[in-house]
Amino acid sequence: MVISGVFIIILYYVLGNVVSALTGHLIPGSVIGMLLLFFSLVFRLVRPERIRQVAEFLTGNMTVFFIPASLGIMEQWGLIRSSFTGWVGVTFISTLLVLVTSGLMQDWLMKAGKRLSGRKR
Amino acid sequence: MENLIHNVPFMLALTLGSYLLGVWVKKKSGLSLLHPFLICIPVIAAVLKFTGTSVQFYIGANKMIDFLLGPSVVSLGLLMYDHLETIRKHLLSILASVFTGSLVGVGSVYFLCRFFGLDDLFVRSMEAKSVTTPIAMDITASLGGDVSLAAVTVILCGFIGTVFGPLIIRMFHIETPVAKGLALGCSSHGLGTSKAIELGAVEGAVSGLAIALMGIMTAVAVPLFNMIFPI
C-alpha cells in the first residue's frame, strides 16, 4: 500500500515538527522526524516493508527536490555578483576541506580501532 | 498565451523536463563532472527570463517539489535502519569525525572569507553552509546573516561536493564505504547523500546519519567558534 507508506512518512514529519517546536526549533522537524523514524524501526513500532517503496522513491530522487530552491540564486544575484569569485572560492575550498578531513579522520579512527581491538585478543 | 505559461503545470513540467534534459546530456556526453544542475538551472533561468516569469512565481508554483525535500530527509531513517549494524559498530568514530568536519567547516569559512576579502555579511551567511538547508537557515538567522544567501550557498556547497567528491575521495585515498559516505554527508548534506547512495547502500546510510549529526554539531559549533573568533 503506497498510501499507508506516504501516511507513515508524513506522520513522522509531523511528529518531528511537533518535537522541533517544543524544543525551540533548534533542529528542524525533518531531521528529528528522520531520527524518530529510525528509532521506531529499531524498536519495531514500524515495519520497514510498510514504507520501503515510498521511502526509496524519495531518497533516490533527492537531487530533483533541490531544484526549485536553486533558482533562488537569480534573486540573490545582485548581492553575489560583486563577490562572485570569492563566494565560489570560499565555498569550494571549504567544502573540499570538510570532505577530506572528515573522510580521512573516519578511515584513520576505524583503522586505529581495529588495531586496538586486535591487540586485546 | 500568458495563461498558458504562467501556471503550475507548466512550471512543474519546466522543472522536471529541464532535469531530464540535464540527465540526458550528461549520459550522452559521458562527462562525469557534468552535473545535471549545470544544464537544468541555466535552462530554467533562461525560460523564466524569456517568458518574463518572476523567480518568486516559479518557486511558488514548484512548492510541491520543494516540499518533498522534508519527507525525503525523514525517509533517510529507513536507510539508516537498513545499516543499523554498521552504524552501531562505528558510532563513536562517526561522532568524532563529524565533529571534526563541523569545526573545519565553520573555521575554514571564517578564515577564507577574510582571505578572499568578503565582508562580514558573507561570513555570517556562509558559516553553516555544509548543513541541510533548514538548519543552515536557522543558524544563519541567529548569526544575523542573509537567510536566502545561506540557502543558495548550501546548494552550491552540495553541488561542489557531488561533482568533485568522488574525485577527491580517490585522490586522498579515502577507502572504506563508511568514510566515503560520511565525507559526502558532512560536506554536502542531501545532495552529497544522493551521490553516496549511487556509490553504495552503506555509503548512503552513513551519509544520511552524517546530515543529522552535522546539522546538530554545527548548530553547537558555530556559537562556540564565534565566541573565540568574533565576527
What is the tens place of the pLDDT at every residue in B92-115? 999 999 999 999 999 999 999 999
For all residues of chain B together, what is the average pLDDT?
Answer: 91
* Judgement on whether residues A60 and A90 belong to the same structural domain of the protein: no
What is the extent of the structural domain holding B92? Answer: 71-228
| Per-residue model confidence (pLDDT) at position B135 | 80
- Band (B1; pLDDT cuts 50, 70, 90): low
Tell whether B161 and B217 lie within a shared domain: yes
CB-closest option in B41, B188, B215 to A70: B41
Q: B149 and B125 in contact (C-beta within 8 Å)? A: yes
Buried b (16+ CB within 10 A) or exposed e, B168-177: bbeebebbbb
Q: Domain tally for chain B?
A: 2
A35 vs B contacts (CB less than 8 Å): 77, 212
Residues B104 and B121 in one domain: yes
Total count of residues recorded for chain B? 231
Residues B27, B138, single domain; the answer is no
What are A54-108's pLDDT values in tens digits?
A: 999 998 888 899 899 888 888 888 888 989 999 999 999 999 999 999 999 999 9
A18 belongs to a structural domain: yes
Same domain? For A59 and A7 the reply is yes
- B174–A107: do the CB atoms touch at under 8 Å? yes
Total domains, chain A: 2
Q: What is the pLDDT of residues B21-69, one digit of tens each?
A: 999 999 999 887 788 888 999 999 999 999 999 999 999 999 999 999 8
Q: Identify whether A74 is part of a domain.
A: no
| Structural domain of A113 | 79-121
Q: The complex's ipTM? A: 0.90
As a whole number, mean pLDDT of residues A41-56 equals 96
B32 and B131 together in one domain? no
Residue A73 is assigned to a structural domain of this protein: no
Q: What is the DSSP letter of B180?
A: H
> Is residue A115 very low, low, confident or very high in pLDDT (cuts 50, 70, 90)?
confident
Residue B12 pLDDT: 97
User: A83 with A119, same domain?
Assistant: yes
B214 and B162, same domain (yes or no): yes
Q: Chain A interface, mutation test: which of B11, B55, B75, most A Cβ atoms within 10 Å?
A: B75
**Following DSSP, what letter does each residue of B122-167 receive, concatenated?**
HHHHHTTTTS-HHHHHHHHHHHT--HHHHHHHHHHHHHHHHHHHHH
